[in-house]
Amino acid sequence: MNIDALLISVSPVVVYVLVALVIGLESMGIPLPGEVILVSAALLATRQDLDISAVWIAAAATGGAIVGDTIGYLAGRHWGERMFDVLGRRFPKHAGPDRLAFTEHVFARYGVWAVFFGRFVALLRMFAGPVAGALHMPYPRFLAANALGGFVWASGTTAAVYTMGTRAEQWLHESSWIGLAVAVGAGIAASTVFRRRLERAVVRHAAERMSRSDQLSAVDS
């Protein structure tokens, strides 16, 4: 199969819709690779023969993030724990009780700042809307932080990837394989370190919850 011919045959509108749909569903609490889709689409935009606009990629990602988070917010506000129970059963690895408890802790402590900065963290990005709704965060404050966070995340990621992608051809042409490999390796290493730190934070918070529960049980007995 000719990959180039297949890519050229795909309408740019399909790419925009796919970006908005995947990011929107992820923002509703469904574990989908929103960031991977955004990065991949931004890389496709660097190819002049595909006629894919980086501006429209960013706009689609922003729209998907805002709409998806809003739907997640409304669902969390109306169904709360029932929604989290369903997500936990369907996606235990991504939406287990420890992860949800940690997310609720972060949002209860940091409020709208967690909504804004949560857009840059996979775990918080997925549950920002539902948890904010379940905690009855005022919708105008949530919408402002959600819209700003979605715009900064989508536009910043698209711009960064697009810039690196357009320069990659020159780097490779000059045989700068080592520099490119170092840059890619550094990005992967940073992502891995951050993910592991987040997982440790989830485990630590779960242990603290268990300890408090045991203390309360001892007092009651």
Residues 91-100: pLDDT tens digits? 766 666 777 7
Task: Give me the percent of the chain exceeding a pLDDT of 90.
Answer: 24
pLDDT in tens, 106-152: 787 788 888 898 888 877 788 888 888 888 889 999 999 999 999 99
pLDDT in tens, 172-195: 555 444 544 555 565 566 556 656
pLDDT of res. 180: 47
Query: What tokens appear for 28 in the block?
Result: 């509703």
CA–CA separation, 106 vs 138, rounded Å?
17
Inter-residue contact 119 to 35 (CB < 8 Å): no
State the residue for tokens 């948890």: 131
pLDDT in tens, 37-64: 888 888 888 877 778 899 999 999 999 9
